[in-house]
Homo-oligomer: A and B are copies of this chain.
Amino acid sequence: MTRSALERLDAVELARGLARREIRAQDLMRACLDRIAEREPQVHAFAHLAADAALEHARQLDAGALRGPLHGLPLGVKDLFDTHDMPGAYGSPIYSGHRASWDAAAVALCRDAGAIVVGKTVTTEFATFHPGPTRNPHDTTRTPGGSSSGSAAAVADHLVALALGTQTAASIIRPAAFCGVVGFKPSIGRTPRAGMKLLSESLDTVGGFGRSVADAGLLASVLTGDARLQVDAPDGATVPRVGGFQGPDWARADADTRALWDRVSQRLATLAPGSSAVATPAWFEPLASLQTDLMLHEAARGLTDERLRHADLLSPRLSANLSAGLAVSATAHATNLIAVQRVRQQAASLFGNHDLLIAPSAIGEAGPAADGTGDPVFCRAWTLLGLPCLHLPLGVGRHGLPIGLQLIGRFMEDERVLQAGAWLHPRLHD
């Protein structure tokens, strides 16, 4: 199979070929490494590349038994997850060259399923706002989004088949939107965080990226251990009833997002009977603000050692954010944690008769890289509620850059979101 043919396949197609031994893992890996050699100087998706080890691992997989559903798939690992065999710095000069003694649980699960870790992908500083060197592969003057910048860019640019990410505010959905790939943030608590650098414990969620809904589902099935998340695009699937949720920050959506919204809403009206607009309840409105206070306070407490012993190596923006987090009083934080428990329990009421919601993923297209990784406004509340979120790339904006929308499911209904997404994606795409 030629390099370009390998590149055109999505992960589930590659996995099928690898499982049938019609594709050799080492050929696929060589194609990826060739592509990386060509594109990495512009895209800068990797914080560390383990080319030789990846190729050797591929050879071993070709020579041995089938390992699992990710057998032979090249995987990018956000540089927030520890690996026992390569350095990782969490996007911070504090940990430059740092080596861990373990594989993070998410990495170990993927490796056990046969995935080959190609390298560590660039994260913003501790998964916050200070950007890394990664650029948007569709236009290298623009941001890939953050914080899972390298993972989204690497999948979009066919450097890897799948990639791990994490989301605390918008760190999976926004880079998926900007890079035009599928991003999936599972229900909170369903994917293990052991061995990753924690940012905000009430919010941090492990998920990932693929080039199709089925790809994202395949990866999530390994991370959760739940085979129901392996979804094909079933033509005979139950047609989902989709609630259109503009939310309290709709005024921030730009003209591209509004035009996409109108087009998708019209198509849903004929495609998915029972779909309709959903009003924003009053209790939803403060959620983005609550998410912000929660994240800043927990980050400031969780990064205490870095604040105290390495203050000079923190970016000015992170330092300012940690100060803002400390300004949220412990009493206010305790009240916030009570509120989180309450609104997570209320979240089911958002859905009414709908199976899932559709909502903006980002304001619009990716902005200039110099302006940062973009605004998380449209993701904060969903991360706070801990609901499964699936970004679908659905078209392009005025500059020809990807735009899309996210599907949101009820708590722990990850498989329903993925099933509906697999059915809707080809039907809603331009």
Stretch binding the partner chain, chosen from A30-38, A150-158, A188-196, A398-406: A188-196
Contacts of A306 in B (CB 8 A): 102
A411 within 8 A of B: yes
A317 within 8 A of B: no
Chain B minimum-CB-distance residue to A201? B193
CB contact between A98 and one of B101, B194, B331, B338 (< 8 Å): that residue: B101
Whether the pair A189, B337 counts as a contact (CB closer than 8 A) is yes
Stretch binding the partner chain, chosen from A1-9, A17-25, A249-257, A339-347: A339-347
A228 within 8 A of B: yes
In the bound assembly, the distance between CA atoms of A112 and B342 in angstroms comes to 33
CB contact between A192 and one of B111, B301, B412 (< 8 Å): that residue: B301
> Helix, strand, loop or mixed for chain A's interface?
helix
Contacts of A108 in B (CB 8 A): 304-305, 308-309
Which residues of A in the span 323-338 have a Cβ within 8 Å of any Cβ on B?
329-331, 333-335, 337-338
Contacts of A375 in B (CB 8 A): none
Whether the pair A341, B338 counts as a contact (CB closer than 8 A) is no
A225 within 8 A of B: yes
Contacts of A103 in B (CB 8 A): 304-305, 309
Chain B minimum-CB-distance residue to A342? B345
Whether the pair A201, B195 counts as a contact (CB closer than 8 A) is no
A109 within 8 A of B: yes
In the bound assembly, the distance between CA atoms of A63 and B358 in angstroms comes to 61
- Per-position binary interface string of chain A over residues 30-74, scored 1 when its CB falls under 8 Å from any chain B CB and 0 otherwise: 000000000000000000000000000000000000000000000
22 contacts between A and B (CB under 8 A): A84-B309, A103-B305, A103-B309, A104-B305, A105-B302, A105-B303, A105-B305, A108-B304, A108-B309, A112-B308, A187-B337, A189-B337, A190-B333, A190-B337, A192-B298, A192-B302, A224-B330, A225-B330, A225-B333, A226-B330, A227-B330, A337-B411
For the complex of A and B, the 9 pairs showing the least CB-CB separation, nearest first, are A226-B330, A194-B302, A108-B304, A225-B330, A108-B305, A103-B305, A334-B412, A194-B198, A345-B345
User: Beyond the given A189-B202, A193-B201, A342-B345, could you list 13 further A-B residue pairs with CB under 8 A, ordered by the A residue number?
Assistant: A103-B305, A105-B303, A105-B305, A108-B309, A109-B301, A112-B308, A190-B334, A193-B198, A224-B330, A226-B330, A334-B414, A341-B344, A341-B345
- Interface residues, chain A, with chain B CB atoms under 8 Å away: 84, 95, 98, 101-105, 107-109, 111-112, 187, 189-190, 192-195, 197-198, 201-202, 224-228, 298, 301-306, 308-309, 329-331, 333-335, 337-338, 341-342, 344-345, 411-412, 414
